[in-house]
Amino acid sequence: MDSPDSPLTVPAEPPPAPNFFRHPDLPFVLLRVFLYLILAEAFTYEFFWISNFFGQSGRFALTPKILMTSEFLRFAGVCAGAWVMSRLERRHLGEYGLPLRGALGKRFWQGAAFGLAEISAVLGTLAAFGYYHFGSVEIHGATFLKWLAFWLAFFVVVGLFEEFAFRGYAQFALTQGIGFWPASIATSVTFGAVHLTNPGETWVGIAGVVLTGLLWCFTLRRTGSLWFAVGMHAAFDFGETFLYSVPDSGMIFPGHLSSATLAGPTWLVGGTAGPEASILDFLILLSFFYVFHRLFPASPRNGTVPDRSNPS
């Protein structure tokens, strides 16, 4: 029996059980990424099946309904896969790059400004040399408003899907196993590789996609989220497809604003891949690394390494 003067003994709580899904060693990380990819693909397939969009009729049509539905279901699929992983890892879903508190906020609009500046600088330079002509406006009135609203909404969804698919959970997990920049190279090369299936895409265009992916990884590292990258991604694609009416990753979509023409040396205008394969775009992207570094200097407050690579 304890004496009146002895301190009260409190049993120590047992340490929490180790969580396999938070293990930072590379084999465990690769297993987690593999599981995430299976889950994302399974959810995406299920969502498409439920929506009846796996039917052969119209599967490859570029109608607004099919374009928007397909992209939204893909985004839903990668989110669902990441949500399952967040439950297994006991994390918040927002830790994977898209916190709700930043949705369409300041960082998004800053990114949008960068995206519009990028495509405007490329095509403005080409126009000054006579290689790009805006042409005549092809849609007016209600049709103009319909396509404007559609492309704005569609490319936000594209930005959300592609950024989260390549720089969301996969980037988060790989950073724990191999470090931020090796993970960035892996996700950016994969990002470029999936564009190989686009009609009209070229190897130079793929290199541009990889460089862009690395820039968006850099913005993730400095801002702590993908919202800047989503805004830049959406605005650049909107500028290519609708505003300036030129090929986007080798594809020309319906509902563009004008009868624009782009003709000149392939190395300068990008050839069939479009402006993102132009040497001008490479130079602008490289300058953006420096500009972004100056605007968002590394610091504990805006760096993402302490948060995103913490294996605890």
- For the chain, the structural domain boundaries read 100-308
- Find the radius of gyration of the CA atoms of the chain: 23
Cβ atoms of 32 and 21 closer than 8 Å: yes
**Distance between CA atoms of 160 and 154, rounded to whole angstroms?**
10
**pLDDT for the residue numbered 306:** 38
Phi, psi (deg, nearest 5) at residue 133: -130, 130
- pLDDT at residue 199 greater than cutoff 90: no
Phi, psi (deg, nearest 5) at residue 262: -135, 110
- pLDDT at residue 67 greater than cutoff 60: yes
> How many percent of the chain have pLDDT more than 70?
86
Q: Return the higher-pLDDT residue of 118 and 25.
A: 118
> Which of 157, 232, 217 minimizes the C-alpha distance to 181?
217
Strand-pairing partners, residue 261, are 133
HEC assignment per residue over 175-221: HHHHCHHHHHHHHHHHHHHHHHHCCCCCHHHHHHHHHHHHHHHHHHH
**pLDDT for the residue numbered 57:** 44
**Distance between CA atoms of 54 and 47, rounded to whole angstroms?**
10
What b/e readout covers 130-145, taking b as 16+ CB neighbours within 10 angstroms? ebbebeeeebeeeeee
Q: How confident is the model at residue 291 (pLDDT cuts 50, 70, 90)?
A: very high
**pLDDT for the residue numbered 253:** 83
Work out the average pLDDT over 138-156: 95
Q: How confident is the model at residue 200 (pLDDT cuts 50, 70, 90)?
A: confident
**Distance between CA atoms of 181 and 172, rounded to whole angstroms?**
11
**pLDDT for the residue numbered 12:** 55
Q: Considering the chain, what is the average pLDDT of its residues?
A: 88
> Which of 177, 249, 127, 218 minimizes the C-alpha distance to 26?
177
**pLDDT for the residue numbered 64:** 86
**pLDDT for the residue numbered 23:** 76
- pLDDT at residue 139 greater than cutoff 70: yes
| C-alpha 213, offset from chain centre | 8
Q: How confident is the model at residue 14 (pLDDT cuts 50, 70, 90)?
A: low
- pLDDT at residue 6 greater than cutoff 70: no
- List helix spans (H) across 13-140: 26-51, 64-89, 106-128
Q: How confident is the model at residue 9 (pLDDT cuts 50, 70, 90)?
A: low
